[in-house]
Amino acid sequence: MLGLQAYASGSGSSSSSDDSDQEDTTKTTKEPTEEELAHLKPLADSAHSVAKSLQVCAAPLVVPTGQVETSRVVAPTVNELSYNPRYEEMFAPVAGPANPFLTQQMRAPKNMLTGFVEAAHISDFQFENQRKTFHSYGYALDPSVEG
């Protein structure tokens, strides 16, 4: 046990020398002066005190959950929703600042870099036939025309 006490004090000397070390440290420490503690005391002149303007707000005003409808923003790039949004949520304008440097073509809604691609049902043979016709002769049939 004495070995642990000597180790804790930082020297390998006996406990009697530890007591003398403690007495030396108490003699060298001095009481703080009034000038050193001035920053801990409140201001004597309360007219310039900031404490008058500051108030503690232990319970700030908040809206309780469940009482106010919160609108959910639907991003235009989302393909599948896990809830049934209202019409106002589904077709609301895109949130955020508008980029003033975009052209009208760049502002258009698109689902890929070059434009808007819609799903089309066409056989692979007919697609390749029209693609080769377009590259060879410069024209192709309009797929939206029935007939």
Residue 141 has pLDDT above 60, yes or no: yes
Residue 6 has pLDDT above 60, yes or no: yes
Find, among 56, 49, 92, the residue nearest to 72 by Cα: 92
Task: Enter the pTM of the model.
Answer: 0.28
Q: Is 102 in contact with 121 (CB distance < 8 Å)?
A: no
Which of the 8 DSSP states describes residue 87? H
CA 6/CA 14 separation, integer angstroms: 7
| pLDDT for 135 | 94
Establish how many alpha carbons lie within 13 A of residue 102's alpha carbon, considering only the half-sphere containing its beta carbon.
9
Q: pLDDT tens digits for 91-138?
A: 888 778 888 898 888 888 887 888 888 887 888 999 899 999 999 999
CA 11/CA 5 separation, integer angstroms: 9
Q: pLDDT tens digits for 35-67?
A: 888 888 877 776 777 777 777 778 877 777 765
Q: Is 6 in contact with 13 (CB distance < 8 Å)?
A: yes
Q: What is the mean pLDDT of the chain?
A: 78
Which residues, at least 6 apart from 46, have a Cβ–Cβ distance to it below 8 Å?
52
